[in-house]
Amino acid sequence: QVQLVESGGGSVQAGGSLRLSCTASGYTTTRCVGWFRQPPGQEREGVTAIDSLGTTIYADSVKGRFTISKDNAKNTLFLQMNSLKPEDTAMYYCAARRTCVGFSGPASLSTLAYTYWGQGTQVTVSS
């Protein structure tokens, strides 16, 4: 049974930083994983993803500010978020794919590519 557990969310002022973690069990982070977010009243959107080769992709809105990484030895995925803005306020979810086949490039930021989801961690950025 795959379980993904996020942590590290919280409240921060604009310009601040947070580091989210996602620990996986029943799944190896050497495969394809990503981070999504869902602002209040909006649809869930892809933030960033990393594949089995370490190739990363970012949504335009977070490029240069967010960094995805993983520690495969600890089966943990990270999201370093710097220069946070109020519009980054959302519930953040980590997600994992059943297979890395298909959904390459920008499509790897689609929710359709992911089978397993964490419960989410709230990030609130105040101005």
Q: What is the CA radius of gyration of the chain?
A: 13
pLDDT of 114: 95
pLDDT of 40: 92
Residues 6+ apart with CB under 8 A from 125: 11, 12, 13, 14, 16, 84, 85, 86, 87, 88, 89
CA pair distance 85, 101, nearest whole angstrom = 34
pLDDT tens, N- to C-terminus, the chain (127 residues): 999 999 999 999 999 999 999 999 988 878 899 999 999 999 999 999 999 889 999 999 999 999 999 998 999 999 999 999 999 999 999 999 998 887 788 889 999 999 999 999 999 999 9
